[in-house]
Structure 1
Amino acid sequence: MQQGIHPEYRPVVFRDKTGGLTFLTRSTATSGRTVEWADGRSYPVVDVETSSASHPFYTGKARLLDTAGRVELYRRRYGG
């Protein structure tokens, strides 16, 4: 790896704005805001719109499309 061309890789807190989930991980993401974590240290915080706490697929609130009904509608309308 070349020196001096890569962004700093450091601990960052990601916070889901809708789900309320916060987690500490390592990232190159930057932020001007900080938050105090449970260990008493201050980390940069990045707000995200969707995480596993609020995404419909992971929460079980995903809508299923009725593809069979759409196929039947097509067949009734256009024959076949």
Structure 2
Amino acid sequence: MKPGIHPRYEPVVFRDKVADFAILTRSTATSDKTIDWEDGTTYPVIDVEISSASHPFSTGQARVLDTAGRVERFERRYGPREAR
């Protein structure tokens, strides 16, 4: 890699306050806020609105879409498809 043109790739904590979930990973994202991690080291922290701990798909609370109802509604509105 060419020196001096790439962003710094350092450890950072991503925190989902709603789900009380945090993960330590490496990223080029930075923040002025910091957090003391379990290992006693201070890392920058980035607060996120949604994570795997709070996303409906990951938690099993996802709604199943009624695609058959959508197709029927479309056909009522615009007519059935013609045979090819």
1:2 is matched with 2
Q: CA RMSD in A?
A: 1.5
| One-letter amino acid of the structure 2 residue matched with residue 35 of structure 1 | I
Q: How far apart, in 1, do the equivalents of 2:13 and 2:58 lie?
A: 21
| One-letter amino acid of the structure 2 residue matched with residue 60 of structure 1 | G
Give the drift of 1:14: 0.6
State the percentage of identical aligned residues: 68
Q: How far apart, in 2, do the equivalents of 1:27 and 1:64 lie?
A: 34
Structure 1: any 5+ residue segments left out of the alignment? none
1:50 is matched with 50
Task: Please tell me whether residue 66 in structure 1 is matched to residue 37 in structure 2.
Answer: no
Of 63-72 and 53-62, the range deviating more from structure 2? 63-72
The CA deviation string for residues 10-37 of structure 1, in whole angstroms up to 9 with x for no partner, is: 1101101321110111111100010000
- Could you state the TM-score of these two structures normalised by the residue count of structure 2? 0.83
Q: How far apart, in 1, do the equivalents of 2:16 and 2:32 lie?
A: 17
Structure 2: any 5+ residue segments left out of the alignment? none
> What does 1:14-53 align with in structure 2 at a 5 Å threshold?
14-53=14-53
